[in-house]
Structure 1
C-alpha cells in the first residue's frame, strides 16, 4: 500500500510522527510532503521521529496571503498525486497544509484519511482560519479519525456515516509518551536557556500565538504574566513565537521583567521537559490542551472558546480568555502551597495507541465507495 502523508507545521510533525512510524512498521510505502509552513519551528523534529521528507513544497511561505498559500500547496500536492499512484493521503488537524492536501486528494479521487477529525467550536471565525479548514477537510475526507466521543458526535451531526468514523484518541499522547521515554529522567535540555531556568521557583510555562488574540487580548495576558512574575515565588518561561507582532508585544511588556525568561521556540524534547516540570501552563494553544493532561497539569486557556471541551470537562483546563484578573487569580491558586497540584486522572484524549489503531484501520480498509477510490 502506498500512502502520502502531508504536513507543514510543528504540531503536525509531532502528531503525525507516531503515524509515520506505525505505517513504516506495517510495511506501507510512505511518501511525505512537507510544505514548510513552520521551517524554524520544525528544527530537529523530523529526525526525532525518524521522518524522511520525499517532497518539499516550494515558494509557499513567500506567498503573502492565506488564499495564495493555499492555492500553491493545493497545486503542488495535486502534481505529486498525478505523478504517483497512492492508496491514501493522510492529513492531520486544521492547518492550511492539511486543508490544501485534502482538497487535492478529493479532486484527484485519492481517499483522504483525516487524523484529529471532528473538532468544532461552532464559530467559523474562531479560531481563524482553522475552524474553516476543519470543516473543509471534513467534506473531502473518506475516513475520519476523531480523538474523542465529542468529536465523533460532531461528525455524526454533520451527516458523516458512522461506518466512516473511527474514534482512536489523539496521536499527541503517543508522541508525548514516546518523547518522555526517549529523553529519560536525566535529560539535559538542548537549549542552554532552558537548562539555566532556576529550580528554586515555581515554573509557569506560557505560550501564545493565536492570530485572533494578537493585539489587546494578548497584551492583557502579557500584563498578567508580568504581575505574576513580580510575586517572586514564580518563574515565567515563555517561548516567543516568530510572528513579528507577537514578538513586539512580548518584548514591550516582558522584555525587562524580573523572573521572566523569554526563550527561543522550543525543540520538542525541551518542551516535554518543561511540561514535566511546570506547575501550570497559560496558553492559547490547542495542542497544549491535549498534552498537559498526560502530565496531570491543570492549565489556563487564554481563549473564549475551545474545540477541545473535554479538557475543561475533565478538570484539566479552565477557559479564562484574556481576562487579566482571571489569569492572575488562576495561576496564583495553582501555585499555592509547596507541591504541584497535579490531577490523578486519565488523559481524555487517549492512552497512547491512536497511531497503531489508525494504521490498522487504513491498512485493512477496503474501499467500496465510487466517489473515493485511488487515482
Structure 2
C-alpha cells in the first residue's frame, strides 16, 4: 500500500459486543502507518444506563470520529424506530462532511442499518463483517441481509456463511471466509492479568439472555421460565450479564434485576470489559441463555453452552452447544447435565481460524488498494450459475 497518503478508515460501533469482538483487529489497523482509523460511536455505548462504555474505547486510545447519541428512552418497536431515525440523520450529516475510503460495520444491530444506509447514500464503500448468518427469531435476520446488500466487501465467519452471502448476489471475489474474531480472541486473551471483577467463591453459571424480537413469545414469560429453572437448582451461584438494547430488553432486565435483589446467590453486571467477560465464562459451569457468544466464543474458552429458545436458530454451532426449549423443565434438566458435559476442545470450534485478526488486517489493506483503483465503486448482482439450481431441484 502507498504510505504517502493515509487511507481513511472508520469502524462504526453501537454496542459492547461488537466493539469487544473487533478490538484486536482495530489495534492492528490503528498501528498501520498507512491507515488513519476513526471509531464512530452510537447506540448503547453512549448511554449511561448501559454503562457509558464509550469511555473504554477512549481508554484504549482510539480516535473517536463522531458520537451520535440516540437517546434510547424506549425499547418498544416505535422507540427503536425513532432511534434508527436519529442515527440516520446524525450519520448522514457526518458522512456529508467526512469521506472515508472504507467504513467497517459488524453484524446486524438496528442502528447499524441506519449507519449503512447513510454511508451508501454518500457512496462510502462498506466492509461488512459477520454477514450470511441466520437468526430466524430476530429482526437481526433481515437487518443483516440488508446491510450485506449495501456493502461492497464481506468477511464471513464460516464457509457456509460465505456461500450464503454469494447467494444474495454478492460477487465471490469480494466475499472472504476468514473466521470469527470472537472465536480467536478467547485464545489470544491474556488471562494472567488480574480481572477487575472477582469470581464467585463457589461453582457458578453465567447467564446472558435476550428477547426474541421476531417471535410471538412473551419476553417476560420466557424470562420467568429461565428464572424458575435457576431457582430449582441449589448449590450454585448465577452471574447475570445485562441484555442488549433490543426491543423489550427492558422487560428482561427488570425481571432479572428483581430476581438478583431477592437471591443471595445471584449477581448482576450490566457490562463487563471483554477480558473480564471471557475470564468469567472460562471458569463457569456453562454459559446459559441465547447469546451468539455461546455459539462463537464459549467453545474457544473450553466451556459448554445451554442455548435456550429460538434466538440463534439458523446459526452454525459446535457439539458443545446444548439446545433446549424455553421451558423451565427443559432448562432445569440441562443445568443438571452441565456438570457432566465434556469440555470442548477450543480448537474444535466451527468459527475458529488461526490468526484471524491478522488475516482481517491483511485483507483490509488489499481492499483499500482495490477501492483506490476503482473509483466507480460499481456493484452488480452476481447471478448464481444455472447448474446450482439444477443440482438442487
Q: Shorter-chain TM-score: what band? A: 0.7 to 0.9
1:259 is displaced (CA, Å) by 2.9
Q: Which residues of 2 match residues 8-23 of structure 1 at below 5 A?
A: 8-23=14-29
**Aligned counterpart, 1:221:** 226
2: CA distance, partners of 1:174 / 1:318: 21
- How many residue pairs are counted as aligned between the two chains? 352
Which residue of the partner structure matches residue 57 of structure 1? 68
Tell me the equivalent position of 2:356.
354
- Which of 161, 166, 176 is 2:176 aligned to? 166
- Matched-pair contact (CA < 8 Å) for 2:320–2:344: yes
Secondary structure of the structure 1 residue equivalent to 2:267: strand
> What secondary structure, in the 3-state scheme, does the structure 1 residue paired with 2:316 have?
helix
Following the alignment from structure 2 to structure 1, what is the Cα–Cα distance between the partners of residues 129 and 71? Answer: 23
Q: Which residue of structure 1 lines up, in the alignment, with residue 337 of structure 2?
A: 333
Paired residue for 2:41, among 34, 42, 47? 34
Query: Partner of 1:268 in structure 2?
Result: 274
User: Residues 353 and 303 from structure 1, CA distance in 2 versus in 1: closer, same or farther, beyond 3 angstroms?
Assistant: farther
Question: Unaligned stretches of 5+ in structure 2?
Answer: 1-6, 380-393
SS in structure 2 at match of 1:86: coil
CA positional deviation for 1:59: 4.4
The whole-number CA distance in structure 1 between the counterparts of 2:241 and 2:364 is 36
Matched, 1:98 2:104: no
Q: Hey, what's the Cα distance between the residues in 1 that align with 2:375 and 2:335?
A: 51
**Number of the residue aligned with 2:324:** 320
- State the TM-score, normalized to the length of structure 1: 0.85
User: CA distance change for structure 1 residues 354 and 204 in 2, over 3 Å: closer, same or farther?
Assistant: same
Asked whether the 8 Å contact 2:287–2:306 carries over to 1, the reply is yes
1:175 Cα offset (Å): 3.4
Q: Does 1:207 align with 2:208?
A: yes
TM-score (norm 2): 0.82
Q: What does 1:1-375 align with in structure 2 at a 5 Å threshold? A: 1-27=7-33, 28-38=35-45, 39=47, 40-41=50-51, 43=53, 45-47=56-58, 49-61=60-72, 65-121=79-135, 123=136, 126-127=137-138, 129-178=139-188, 180-181=189-190, 183-184=191-192, 187=194, 189-191=195-197, 195=198, 197-198=200-201, 201-212=202-213, 214-228=219-233, 230=234, 232=235, 234-241=236-243, 243-257=249-263, 259-304=265-310, 306=312, 309-311=315-317, 314-336=318-340, 341-344=342-345, 345-365=347-367, 366-367=370-371, 368=374, 370-372=376-378
Equivalent position SS for 1:34: strand
Deviates more, 1:56-65 or 1:283-292: 56-65
- Structure 1 pair 102–26 and aligned structure 2 pair: CA distance change class (3 A): same
How big is each residue's C-alpha offset from its partner over 1:204-237, in whole Å with a ceiling of 9 and x where there is no partner? Answer: 1111122546221121011111112x2x2x2222
Q: Secondary structure at the match of 2:240?
A: strand
Residue in structure 1 matched with residue 390 of structure 2 by the alignment: none
CA contact (8 A) 1:119 1:307 kept: no
> By how many angstroms is 1:354 displaced?
2.4
Residues 288-331 of structure 1 show CA distances to partners (whole Å, capped at 9, x for unaligned) of: 321101112111111225256322xx202122131222211112
Structure 1: segments with no counterpart, 5+ residues: none
Query: Deviation digits for residues 50-106 of structure 1, max 9, x if unmatched?
Result: 433221113443576222211221222222222123111110011123211211121
Q: Indicate the larger mover: 236-245 or 346-355.
A: 236-245
- Give yes or no for contact 1:174–1:352 (8 Å, CA) kept in 2: yes
Deviation at 1:164, TM superposition (A): 1.5
Deviations 1:256-293 (A, max 9, x none): 23533334433333211111211111121113321101
Separation in structure 1 between the aligned mates of residue 312 and residue 21 of structure 2, nearest angstrom: 19
